[in-house]
Amino acid sequence: MAAMPKVTFIGAGSAVFARQLMTDILAVDGLDEGEFALVDVDARRLKLAGGIAERLVELSGKAWRVRASTERRDLLAGSDYVINSIEVAGLQNVRFDYEIPMRYGVDQCIGDTIGPGGIFKALRTGPAWLDIVRDTERMAPRAVVMNYTNPMSILTLAALRATNLQVIGLCHSVQGTSRQIAQYLGIPYGDMRWQCAGLNHNAWFTRLERGGQDLYPLLRERARIPNIYEQDPVRFEVMLHLGAFVTESSGHFSEYVPYFRKRPDLIKKYTRAGYLGESGFYANHWPEWRHANDELIASMLRGETPVPRERGHEYGSYIVEAIECGRGASIHGNVRNDGWIDNLPDGCVEVECHVDRSGIHPRRFGPLPEQLAGLNRAHMAVHQLVVEALLERDRSKAKNALMLDPLTSAVCSLEEIDRLFEEMWNAQGESLTAFG
């Protein structure tokens, strides 16, 4: 435990996570002093992040110091927590990630964690991420490393394989989805008891109860009400046929499985606008979201927009609070599967973890229902191959990973996947120089 914790943000300019997590940490009772160290290679965005950090500290009345640098080696030493939210070559490649696969019939909604877009995002991001964790292992070997960058499972597993650091991948899909389920059920969130485990974006609510009563019969009834079904068509279809509600949004989850996007008639039947499955939703909107967030931060700094100070549901601050203040927390994190889920192999899994002064402790879940474990194992094979591609700088393993991707393989022949991969590689070559 540090007397004055040092929290280092890598990729601090992606200020959605950095601003919220700094807000959350400053809201913790008893964390009255410490240091935020902000790192970003984009000096303009780093200046925005530094400005909002100073403003948040000022509003909190606490004695936190803020330092910033475009060079992480200036700030990593002595870090107690390292929070990663980097984006590597995203703006110049987001159209390639969507448009090239689309020409082959692979229709993605988000395309940043799985499928052609997700695999190429991993290939662009992984080398920089591995450099970061190796520097961290050398300069701050006792730091707790929290990864917020997608593709979550691949990057977290790569860091766990490459270093001896305590690395955990964090997302908001479990806590967000559990609240959505309570809403669909029409019950207070605090009344619901649940268990959830699997992979990031592919974790399963295997138990939903209130007062000892199984809530799944009620949820199945509610799913047949049109105005409820329409809020989450893909996830309700998965639940009705496979028996459990999954943690990722309908649009994004539709990319993880072969059932919903392999033919135009299925896309029309099961997907809807926006996050419910719109083709190219992320590619078409992410650049403007990024710009709008920068403008929002600038507006806050000019005093034109109020600075939110409410603590959110991201797990990062609860980890810091548990370790620094001894107030135990239960979170869901992405960790290496050291027997936590019986019928999944070695790889990155998302399970409940208890956090206390001594660190993060995953809890054994047991076996998943086999039909759910089978879907998870298909993705773990993709993750394994991409991680090997990153660690060995072997592009052929990345191509093999794409050949195993559930949606891509449902749409394309092996020869077509080969051509798709080569076309994407050639288009993104200047972002893939780590592979030689």
Among 58, 51, 62, 45, residue whose Cα is nearest residue 10: 45
Catalytic hit among 172, 285, 313, 354 = 172
CB 12 within 8 A of CB 48: no
Asked, as a colleague might, if the bond just before 362 is cis with ω within 30 of 0, I would say: no
Q: Kindly state the tokens that stand for 147.
A: 């990864």
Instruction: Give the rounded distance of the alpha carbon of 362 from its chain centre.
Output: 18
Q: Residue 301 corresponds to which amino acid?
A: L
Q: Which residues have CB under 8 Å from 19's CB, separation 6+? A: 49, 52, 56, 297
Integer Cα distance of 297 and 50 in angstroms: 11
| Sign of the four-CA dihedral 125, 349, 160, 53 | positive
Alpha helix (H) residue ranges in 186-279: 216-223, 226-229, 233-242, 250-253, 264-270
CA atoms within 13 A on the CB side of 210: 15
> Is 332 annotated as catalytic?
no
Integer Cα distance of 196 and 366 in angstroms: 11
Alpha helix (H) residue ranges in 140-195: 152-162, 173-185
Integer Cα distance of 132 and 142 in angstroms: 15
Integer Cα distance of 199 and 383 in angstroms: 11
CB 227 within 8 A of CB 244: no
Helix, strand or coil for residue 310? coil
- 336 sits in which H/E element: strand 329-336
Q: Per residue, what are the HEC states of 90-136? A: HHHHHHHHHHHHHHCCCCCCCCCCCHHHHHHHHHHHHHHHHHHHHHH
Count CB-CB contacts under 10 A for residue 95.
Answer: 14
CB 259 within 8 A of CB 266: yes
CB 13 within 8 A of CB 290: no
Enumerate the active-site residues: 172
